[in-house]
Amino acid sequence: MTDNDSEDPHFHSGSSRGDTPAGGIAPGPSAAGIVDLDPIDRQIVAELQRDGRMTNVELARRTGISAPPCLRRVRRLEEVGVIEGYHADVDASKLGWSLTFFALIGLESQKGSVLEAFEAEIAGWAEVRECHMIRGGGDFLVRLVARDAAHQNHLTKRLTDLDHVVRVQTLQTIRTSLSRAGVPV
């Protein structure tokens, strides 16, 4: 792969449709919402998942292209929503958040307005780190952090007191042996 491959009119990303423009990404998401990426785009995503702080020059070196086309590809990956943002992984306990727990939430109804009201309410809680609508066994699975057991109990009570909540089951983590950011590419 040369520096000019992304500008080469004969460049082909490997897409079976042959409709991938310069920059590697097909014109939009497939019917399933999946964005068609060429091997260089996939390598860019994989490298940024491993180290989102690397410079564009280093990213270009690792992917075997020059910096300008690399930066264009990164910007395009951001524009189409493959890359949603960048963040630092922190040690929660060193910031005073010694407990992580999950709450399995059951609501009295699955009407859209009830589901949306629950999501809107907990979105405002700083301690809520993830909220997933689930199928089977409950309506939502929520991951929270707490300073200590008393704080966890307070958060659990807040959850049980919310409108439309009929069941809260909490599961406290003992240790986390694996926590991966991103997805396989």
Residues 83-106, mean pLDDT to the nearest whole number: 95
More confident residue, 9 or 184: 184
Residues 139-143, mean pLDDT to the nearest whole number: 98
Neighbours of 48 (CB within 10 A): 20
Q: What pTM value is reported for the model?
A: 0.77
DSSP character at residue 35: B
Are 96 and 86 in contact, with CB atoms under 8 Å apart? Answer: no
Mean pLDDT, the chain, integer: 87
Band of residue 116 on the pLDDT scale cut at 50, 70, 90: very high
Tens digit of each residue's pLDDT (9 = 90 or more) over 24-60: 665 555 556 899 999 999 999 999 999 999 999 999 9
Are 4 and 72 in contact, with CB atoms under 8 Å apart? Answer: no
Q: Does 142 have pLDDT greater than 90?
A: yes
Angle between helices 67-79 and 56-63 (to 10 degrees): 100
Phi and psi (nearest 5°) for 99? -120, 140
Q: Is 164 exposed, middle or buried (0-12, 13-18, 19+ CB in 10 A)?
A: middle
Neighbours of 143 (CB within 10 A): 16
Range list of H helices, 15-140? 39-50, 56-63, 67-79, 112-123
Q: Does 84 have pLDDT greater than 90?
A: yes
